[in-house]
Amino acid sequence: MTYAVKEIFRTLQGEGANTGRVAVFCRFTGCNLWSGREQDRAKALCRFCDTEFLGGDTFADAGVLATAIEECWGDERRRRFVVFTGGEPLLQLDKSLLDAVRERSVYIAVETNGTIAASENINWLCVSPKAATEVVQRKGDELKLVFPQAGLSPEQVAHWDFDRFYLQPKHDRFLSQNTAAAIQYCLEHPQWALSIQTHKIIGVP
């Protein structure tokens, strides 16, 4: 299988439970909720995506891509942490790639919209559900809900089988109001914690 990848880069994880952790991100192209083209945003299932996931490179097989990911770590062999994201990574992330990356002593995290079932060979699974979609992956390590979302409230997903629950303020022109609303909800519902996109504040990818 070939893999279409927008970018591979080393940075700090900016949000959720692993905030601040050094990670290599592998961002796949393609998503099943939006084409990535602005002219299609108005009719997309997910209309507030703030990520560019078009273009990039094609990797011939799992070994080639795993090597490219490994090279981002250089000589460092401890605490290797890789985040597969997108787009929607589970459109491409298969057993061959998971095995090839795991052979290189890597702790694997995946950020998904939950509409595709995830492999059990993932160390850390973060699901970020979107309104008007059929979420089949209702268990994992971390549920991260962009807030607020018309048609999807925290109450609708609070019973799902996750270890941690986060509200992440929607990053739009109402960010300050969204943040205040998320803070208030967390104060009133301690099951939820606040996730801030710290990478946007400190200026890293």
Do the beta carbons of residue 86 and residue 52 sit within 8 Å? no
Instruction: Specify the pLDDT at position 74.
Output: 82
Q: Which of 26, 49, 126, 186 is catalytic?
A: 49
**Residue 31 known to be catalytic:** yes
Average pLDDT, the chain: 96
147 an active-site residue?
Answer: no
Going along the chain from its start, the domains and CATH numbers come out as 3-202 (3.20.20.70)
User: Which 3 state secondary structure label does DSSP give 197?
Assistant: coil
**Which residue in the list 15, 70, 88, 111 is annotated as catalytic?**
111
Residue 192 confidence (pLDDT) = 98
Q: Summarize the confidence of residues 89-112 as an average pLDDT.
A: 96
- Concerning whether 159 is annotated as a catalytic residue, the answer is no
What is the pLDDT at residue 90?
98
Distances (CA, A) of 80 to 12, 13, 140, 189: 12, 13, 21, 34
Task: Give catalytic status of residue 46 as yes or no.
Answer: yes
φ/ψ (deg, to 5) at 202? -90, -5
Residues of the chain above pLDDT 70, percent: 100
